[in-house]
Every structure is written in structure tokens, then in C-alpha cells.
Amino acid sequence: MSADRPQLPRALVVCPTWLGDAVMATPALQLLRAGLPGAFLGGLCRPAAQQALAGLDVFDEVHPAPSGGIMAPKVAAQRVRIRRYASALLLTNSFSTALSTRLAGIPLRMGFNRDGRGVLLTDSLPARTRRETPPFDRSATDPGGYPAEPIAGAYESLARAFLERLGVDHRSLARPTLRLAATDGEERAAADILARAPIAPSAAFAVLNPGGNNPAKRWPPDRFAEVAAWLIRDRGLPVLVNGSPAESGLCAEIVSRACGMLGRDAQTSASHPLVNLAELGGSIGSLKAILRRAAILVTNDTGPRHVAAAFGTPVVALFGPTDPRWTTLTPWLPPRRDGKPLPLEAELAADPSLPEEEVADDHPERCRVDRIEAGAVIEAAARLLG
């Protein structure tokens, strides 16, 4: 910063908790960085968000947010108070994070007026209900609930309102795309895992992501196995089945089923390995670097979907009783990493015929994820692969 330029007030961003939400916030974070180029910008982040955003040139400092508990707001406030932030933007919707910024004595606190926290905010944006939002106002289902609108768009709206409140003209700032970066350490960790897979450094490979926090969002293992067998047999791609350590058994089941479809030697074939990635260890950071290199990801609607898309890796995303409109990435998708003039993502909904005024979350039986057939997923993957 030049000596004759006045120092801009310090600003804090309270980042989303979950991995996928943190990735969907990256366009908003880039807007803030572009609109406040000389300001000290801090982030209050839970571990998943901190790992996801590592390597991005957005924050000047990251404060680790406590994982929870009755004392979490006080602890978070203590961690950020030392920086004497003049303003805070809350990308979270919780009462506790608003309380943290209030306890920290931050004068300007902006966020959506949800969960009864309006009294803790100095600048609140209204959270619209379905009865106020077309086309959801045509439905009698939960009219007081929130409309299924893109979370990434909500984050962008907050960022632009925050810049405007700080007197920054944001209208000339173009809409940014999803963006992530992998640190050198994350790249080395990924290279080690791929070497043990084994995947050659220059080899193309596919990743399947069959897990997820909500069992209702998990596509059946036998269909993931069918897709794995097709990727190996028809496309010549090694397949890595990704999951957390707790999902290692699920990944092993898919590997076993796919091996049965291909023949006993498929799992140990040096040319077409089929690997349970959950058994090889790793972290969100190493997964970022692995998905950055992948030729394609087939996944439930979970965090790795957003990670892959942010790196320009083609993604087939499967949606059951969670409305795709909450997490649609289309307006914020980056170009494909391989430069091909093909779509980057295919969203497959369990019931494409659901009326637009209805939200899939309210129709769990009609929108069961197992209504998506393996053939439709294979067709979408083939289209993305070209």
C-alpha cells in the first residue's frame, strides 16, 4: 500500500461451515477482495472451510473458528477481537456466529435476518419466504419456508451489499467463478496417494464419490459399481472410489462389486486399477489436488462435487430429496480445465418432472435418489467425457 493512500478499515468474513458451502462462497470472496484491494481482510473459518480455501489469495489472516459448544461464540470473539475489525460480513445464518461478532465489538455487522438474530446485526438483509418468491408462491407446501434458490447467489448478494455499505462501487466488478487452489503441500500429498494407488503421474483417471452425511442422498452402491465397471471397460480409465475413513466399507463394497462385473483380476490390474481411496488416507487438501487432476467425478450432492467443479473438472452430480436449485453452480462455473468445448457439469435429478413451484426436499418419496438409473449416469458421463 502506498504511503499516501489512507488505510481502509479492517473487515472480517465469517465463512460457511461445510465444505461445499465454503466453495460456493468463493465467488463472493473474490468480489470482496477485488472491491477492497487495500483493506485487511480476515476470515473466521471452521476446519473444513479453512482447508478448502487454503492456497487462495483472499484473506490476510484466517482465524480458526471453534467447532461448537456453549462457549463457542465467546471463544470466537476472543480470537478476532485482537484485530479490531471495523466491519463483519456473515455468510453463515446461525445465531451463534452473529453473537460472536457482537461480543467481539465489531461496529458494523451484516448478514441475513434469520434464526432470530436480527437484533445482533446492525445491517440485516431480509430472508424471503416462498410465499414472496415466484414460482414457489404458487405452491401450498410450506409457504413460510425458504425458496430453493442458489446459495452461491445469496453469498454474492451479501458481498455486493457489504461493498455498497462500505461505499465501494461494485457494479463494475464482474461476476467471478468458483475458484480453488492447491498448496504445494497438498499437491505432494496427492502425488503420494496416487503413486500408491498406483496411478502414473500423467495418467487420466476417474473418481467416484458415493458417500455423504445424509444417507437419503446416497445413490445405491451397486449402481456406482456399474458406473465404475463402465469407466474401466469402455473408457479405459482407472477408478478411485473416494470416501472418508468412516465410509471405507462403502467404498470397499463398490470396489468388490465392480471387480465382480469385470473379472477377478480387475482390482489388481496395473493398467486399469480400481482403488478404495478411503484406505489410502488423505485430507480435504489432498482431495483437492486429486480432483484437480481427475478426468471426471461422479458424485452425490456433497462437498467434493463443488471442489471438482471449482477446478474445472467435469462432474456428474446426483440429486435425490435435496432440490438441485439450492446448490446449482451453473452461473459460476469456470471453464473446463482440459479446454474442451463440452459442458462442465451434468445435474441429474431423481424426478425431473417435479413442478417448478415444488421443492424436492418436501417430496422425499417422489424424489428418492435410487430413482436415478445407472444408464442415465453413464450417458451423462459419456457426454461430459466426449
Q: Got the DSSP string for 213-282?
A: SSGGGPPPHHHHHHHHHHHHHHH---EEE---GGGHHHHHHHHHHHHHHH-GGGTT-SSS-EEEGGGG--
Report the C-alpha gap between 300 and 215 in whole angstroms: 10
- The terminus-to-terminus CA distance of the chain in angstroms comes to 47
Class of domain 11-165: alpha beta
Domain ranges, ordered by start, for the chain: 11-165, 184-385
Is 11-165's fold the same as 184-385's? yes
* Mean pLDDT for the chain overall: 94
pLDDT tens sequence across 277-321: 999 999 999 999 999 999 999 999 999 999 999 999 999 999 999
Question: What is the phi-psi region of residue 128: left when phi exceeds 0, alpha when psi lies from -120 to 50, beta otherwise?
Answer: beta
- Superfamily of domain covering 184-385: Glycogen Phosphorylase B; (3.40.50.2000)
pLDDT computed for residue 9 by the predictor? 83
* Sign, Cα dihedral of 54, 57, 58, 64: positive
Query: In angstroms, rounded to a whole number, what is the distance separating the alpha carbons of residues 83 and 160?
Result: 23
User: How much of the chain, in percent, has pLDDT values that exceed 70?
Assistant: 96
**Per-residue pLDDT at 333 exceeds 50:** yes
76 phi, psi to nearest 5 deg: -60, -40
**Is the pLDDT confidence value at 245 over 50?**
yes
pLDDT for the residue numbered 3: 38
pLDDT for position 4: 38
Asked whether the predicted pLDDT for residue 191 surpasses 50, the reply is yes
Residue-level pLDDT at 68 = 82
The percent of residues in the chain predicted with pLDDT above 90, rounded, is 91
Given a cut of 70, is residue 249 above it in pLDDT?
yes
In this prediction the pTM is 0.95
